[in-house]
Protein backbone atom coordinates (compact mmCIF):
# COMPACT_ATOMS: atom_id res chain seq x y z
CA UNK A 1 0.00 0.00 0.00
CA UNK A 2 1.34 3.43 -0.98
CA UNK A 3 1.29 5.91 1.89
CA UNK A 4 0.36 9.58 1.57
CA UNK A 5 2.37 12.22 3.42
CA UNK A 6 0.03 14.75 5.04
CA UNK A 7 1.85 17.65 3.36
CA UNK A 8 0.82 16.30 -0.06
CA UNK A 9 -2.78 17.04 0.88
CA UNK A 10 -2.05 20.73 1.51
CA UNK A 11 -0.96 21.14 -2.16
CA UNK A 12 1.81 23.69 -1.66
CA UNK A 13 3.09 25.49 -4.74
CA UNK A 14 6.65 24.18 -4.47
CA UNK A 15 8.41 20.85 -4.40
CA UNK A 16 9.27 19.54 -0.94
CA UNK A 17 10.95 16.48 0.58
CA UNK A 18 7.52 14.98 1.27
CA UNK A 19 6.86 14.77 -2.51
CA UNK A 20 9.45 12.03 -3.01
CA UNK A 21 8.63 8.44 -2.16
CA UNK A 22 10.85 7.12 0.65
CA UNK A 23 14.19 5.95 -0.73
CA UNK A 24 13.43 7.14 -4.28
CA UNK A 25 15.06 10.02 -6.13
CA UNK A 26 13.50 12.29 -8.70
CA UNK A 27 15.11 12.98 -12.07
CA UNK A 28 14.05 16.29 -13.59
CA UNK A 29 14.98 18.49 -16.53
CA UNK A 30 15.70 22.13 -15.74
CA UNK A 31 13.48 24.48 -17.75
CA UNK A 32 14.34 27.83 -16.20
CA UNK A 33 15.80 29.29 -13.00
CA UNK A 34 14.84 32.79 -11.92
CA UNK A 35 14.09 35.04 -8.99
CA UNK A 36 10.48 35.11 -7.83
CA UNK A 37 8.41 36.48 -4.99
CA UNK A 38 7.38 33.52 -2.81
CA UNK A 39 4.68 33.60 -0.14
CA UNK A 40 5.60 31.37 2.80
CA UNK A 41 3.18 29.28 4.86
CA UNK A 42 3.24 32.10 7.42
CA UNK A 43 2.05 34.59 4.76
CA UNK A 44 5.39 36.43 4.51
CA UNK A 45 6.67 37.37 1.07
CA UNK A 46 10.28 36.65 0.23
CA UNK A 47 12.38 36.92 -2.94
CA UNK A 48 13.69 33.40 -3.74
CA UNK A 49 15.54 31.60 -6.49
CA UNK A 50 13.07 29.17 -8.06
CA UNK A 51 13.83 26.35 -10.47
CA UNK A 52 11.09 25.22 -12.87
CA UNK A 53 11.16 21.87 -14.65
CA UNK A 54 10.20 20.75 -18.15
CA UNK A 55 8.18 17.85 -16.73
CA UNK A 56 4.68 19.21 -16.17
CA UNK A 57 4.04 16.89 -13.22
CA UNK A 58 6.93 18.28 -11.13
CA UNK A 59 6.30 21.41 -9.11
CA UNK A 60 8.90 24.22 -9.06
CA UNK A 61 11.67 23.95 -6.46
CA UNK A 62 12.95 26.77 -4.29
CA UNK A 63 16.69 26.64 -4.80
CA UNK A 64 18.82 27.25 -1.73
CA UNK A 65 22.52 28.10 -1.89
CA UNK A 66 23.63 24.52 -1.13
CA UNK A 67 21.63 23.10 -4.04
CA UNK A 68 22.56 25.96 -6.42
CA UNK A 69 26.27 25.39 -5.73
CA UNK A 70 25.85 21.66 -6.33
CA UNK A 71 24.16 22.25 -9.71
CA UNK A 72 26.86 24.75 -10.74
CA UNK A 73 29.52 22.19 -9.85
CA UNK A 74 27.74 19.31 -11.63
CA UNK A 75 26.98 21.26 -14.80
CA UNK A 76 30.33 23.06 -14.73
CA UNK A 77 28.71 26.48 -15.02
CA UNK A 78 27.54 29.11 -12.54
CA UNK A 79 25.20 30.57 -15.20
CA UNK A 80 21.57 29.51 -14.81
CA UNK A 81 20.91 30.02 -18.53
CA UNK A 82 23.39 27.21 -19.25
CA UNK A 83 21.47 24.84 -16.95
CA UNK A 84 18.40 24.84 -19.23
CA UNK A 85 17.62 21.42 -20.68
CA UNK A 86 19.99 19.59 -18.34
CA UNK A 87 18.84 16.76 -16.09
CA UNK A 88 19.53 16.60 -12.38
CA UNK A 89 18.77 14.05 -9.70
CA UNK A 90 17.01 15.19 -6.54
CA UNK A 91 16.92 13.21 -3.32
CA UNK A 92 16.03 13.65 0.33
CA UNK A 93 18.58 13.94 3.14
CA UNK A 94 18.35 14.55 6.85
CA UNK A 95 19.81 17.98 7.70
CA UNK A 96 20.09 19.96 10.89
CA UNK A 97 17.96 23.11 10.79
CA UNK A 98 16.71 25.32 13.58
CA UNK A 99 18.11 22.94 16.19
CA UNK A 100 16.40 19.81 14.89
CA UNK A 101 16.87 17.14 12.25
CA UNK A 102 14.58 17.64 9.24
CA UNK A 103 14.18 16.21 5.74
CA UNK A 104 15.42 18.43 2.93
CA UNK A 105 15.68 18.20 -0.83
CA UNK A 106 19.25 17.86 -2.05
CA UNK A 107 20.69 17.81 -5.53
CA UNK A 108 22.69 14.59 -5.79
CA UNK A 109 26.44 15.03 -6.36
CA UNK A 110 26.24 13.14 -9.65
CA UNK A 111 24.34 13.48 -12.89
CA UNK A 112 21.52 11.01 -13.44
CA UNK A 113 22.46 8.00 -15.49
CA UNK A 114 20.45 8.15 -18.67
CA UNK A 115 19.69 5.09 -20.71
CA UNK A 116 22.67 4.52 -22.94
CA UNK A 117 21.87 4.78 -26.61
CA UNK A 118 23.96 2.33 -28.67
CA UNK A 119 24.69 2.62 -32.39
CA UNK A 120 23.31 -0.42 -34.26
CA UNK A 121 26.30 -0.47 -36.64
CA UNK A 122 29.47 0.28 -34.64
CA UNK A 123 28.07 -0.57 -31.16
CA UNK A 124 29.50 2.65 -29.67
CA UNK A 125 27.47 4.97 -27.45
CA UNK A 126 25.60 7.61 -29.46
CA UNK A 127 27.01 11.01 -28.49
CA UNK A 128 25.53 14.50 -28.89
CA UNK A 129 26.57 16.22 -32.13
CA UNK A 130 26.49 19.99 -32.59
CA UNK A 131 23.30 21.25 -30.98
CA UNK A 132 21.61 17.83 -31.23
CA UNK A 133 21.44 15.70 -28.08
CA UNK A 134 22.14 11.97 -28.38
CA UNK A 135 18.43 11.16 -27.95
CA UNK A 136 17.52 13.38 -30.95
CA UNK A 137 20.21 11.78 -33.12
CA UNK A 138 19.00 8.30 -32.17
CA UNK A 139 15.36 9.21 -32.94
CA UNK A 140 16.25 10.83 -36.28
CA UNK A 141 18.40 7.94 -37.48
CA UNK A 142 15.77 5.42 -36.33
CA UNK A 143 13.20 7.18 -38.51
CA UNK A 144 15.49 7.77 -41.49
CA UNK A 145 17.52 4.53 -41.56
CA UNK A 146 15.38 2.12 -39.55
CA UNK A 147 17.90 1.80 -36.71
CA UNK A 148 19.63 3.99 -34.12
CA UNK A 149 22.99 5.22 -35.41
CA UNK A 150 25.76 7.47 -34.15
CA UNK A 151 26.46 10.57 -36.25
CA UNK A 152 29.58 8.96 -37.83
CA UNK A 153 27.71 5.85 -39.01
CA UNK A 154 24.76 7.95 -40.22
CA UNK A 155 27.18 10.15 -42.21
CA UNK A 156 28.78 7.05 -43.80
CA UNK A 157 25.38 5.66 -44.83
CA UNK A 158 24.29 9.03 -46.19
CA UNK A 159 27.51 9.34 -48.24
CA UNK A 160 27.07 5.78 -49.57
CA UNK A 161 23.44 6.48 -50.53
CA UNK A 162 24.43 9.71 -52.27
CA UNK A 163 27.20 7.89 -54.17
CA UNK A 164 24.76 5.15 -55.22
CA UNK A 165 22.20 7.75 -56.32
CA UNK A 166 24.84 9.58 -58.38
CA UNK A 167 26.00 6.31 -59.95
CA UNK A 168 22.40 5.37 -60.68
CA UNK A 169 21.82 8.71 -62.43
CA UNK A 170 24.92 8.18 -64.57
CA UNK A 171 24.01 4.59 -65.37
CA UNK A 172 20.39 5.52 -65.95
CA UNK A 173 21.42 8.10 -68.52
CA UNK A 174 23.89 5.67 -70.13
CA UNK A 175 21.24 2.97 -70.32
CA UNK A 176 19.11 5.24 -72.49
CA UNK A 177 21.97 5.72 -74.96
CA UNK A 178 23.19 2.15 -75.24
CA UNK A 179 23.59 1.15 -78.89
CA UNK A 180 21.24 -1.73 -79.66
CA UNK A 181 22.41 -1.98 -83.19
CA UNK A 182 19.04 -0.83 -84.51
CA UNK A 183 19.18 1.95 -87.03
CA UNK A 184 16.40 3.27 -89.19
CA UNK A 185 17.89 1.31 -92.10
CA UNK A 186 17.97 -1.92 -90.10
CA UNK A 187 14.37 -1.44 -89.06
CA UNK A 188 13.33 -0.89 -92.71
CA UNK A 189 15.10 -4.08 -93.87
CA UNK A 190 13.35 -6.14 -91.18
CA UNK A 191 9.92 -5.01 -92.37
Side-chain half-sphere exposure of 157, counting CA atoms within 13 A: 17
Using an 8 Å Cβ cutoff, are 48 and 68 in contact? no
Q: What pLDDT is recorded for position 12?
A: 76
What residues form DSSP beta bridges with 97?
Answer: 100
Q: What pLDDT is recorded for position 190?
A: 47
Q: What pLDDT is recorded for position 175?
A: 46
Q: CB neighbours of 14 closer than 8 A, spacing ≥ 6?
A: 38, 50, 59, 60, 61, 62
SS3 content of the chain, % helix, strand, coil (to 5): 35, 25, 40
The span from the CA of 148 to the CA of 122, in Å, is 11
Using an 8 Å Cβ cutoff, are 144 and 124 in contact? no
Q: What pLDDT is recorded for position 63?
A: 95
Q: What pLDDT is recorded for position 128?
A: 81
Average pLDDT by stretches of 10, the chain with 191 residues: 62 83 90 92 88 93 96 94 93 91 94 80 85 86 92 94 86 51 48 46
The span from the CA of 33 to the CA of 29, in Å, is 11
Amino acid sequence: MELTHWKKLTNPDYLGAYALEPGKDLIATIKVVNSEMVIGSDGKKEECTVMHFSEKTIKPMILNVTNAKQIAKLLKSPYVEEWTGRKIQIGVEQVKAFGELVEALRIRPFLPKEDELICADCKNTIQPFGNSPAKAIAAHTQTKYGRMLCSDCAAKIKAKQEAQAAASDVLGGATNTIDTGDTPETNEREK
